[in-house]
Amino acid sequence: MKIIILMMAVLSAPAYAGYYDDLIRGSKADVLVCEYTEIATPEGLKPQNNFSLTFIITKDKAYMASDKGLVEVQIVYGQYTLTFIETTPEGIVEVTAVNRSDEKSVHSRNTVMPTKDTRDVELFPSQSYGKCHRKE
């Protein structure tokens, strides 16, 4: 029964061009570089300079390169997207979604900063928009 369900899932899945199929099968490690050119905040949409994220994807795990080194992230292989989920030590969740067909990407974050009296926090939400590409 499990084999039949697995075969149905494989046969019904849409065919994608590119290297995403290899990543899903776990046949190789890869590096995905995402460069973001616009940012949306409560103040509106504006150009964004010099913001990029690099993901290293192996058979068993995924990592994001950051100023702290490599940070392990969760990866979700969706039907149409790859989604990376980072949970910071402070409990903040950042999500990066990559569309498989055109490699457009959205990075969503909610930064929390203590206020001056440190009894409260202020929330700074943002979404960055850009495109990813495989690093050769």
Is the model's pLDDT at 52 over the cut of 60? Answer: yes
- Span 106-135, mean pLDDT? 87
Report pTM.
0.76
- Domain annotation covers residue 88: yes
- Domain annotation covers residue 41: yes
- Span 73-83, mean pLDDT? 94
Specify the pLDDT at position 8.
Answer: 32
Q: Got the DSSP string for 22-74? A: HHHHT---EEEEEEEEEEEETTEEEEEEEEEEEEEE-SS-EEEEETTEEEEEE
Name the residue range of residue 73's domain: 17-134
Q: Which carries the bigger pLDDT value, residue 41 or residue 59?
A: 41
CATH of the domain at 122: 2.40.160
- Contact, 12 vs 5, CB < 8 A? no
- Domain annotation covers residue 5: no
- With left for phi above 0 and alpha for psi between -120 and 50, is residue 69 left, alpha or beta? left
Number of domains the chain contains: 1
> How far is the first Cα of the chain from the last one, in angstroms, to the nearest whole number?
40
- Domain annotation covers residue 10: no
Tens of pLDDT, residue by residue over 2-42, are 333 322 333 333 333 344 555 555 556 789 999 999 999 99
Q: For residue 119, what are its two tokens? A: 């009894």
**Alpha-carbon gap, residue 13 to 95, rounded angstroms:** 24
- Span 112-134, mean pLDDT? 86
- Domain annotation covers residue 8: no
- Domain annotation covers residue 7: no
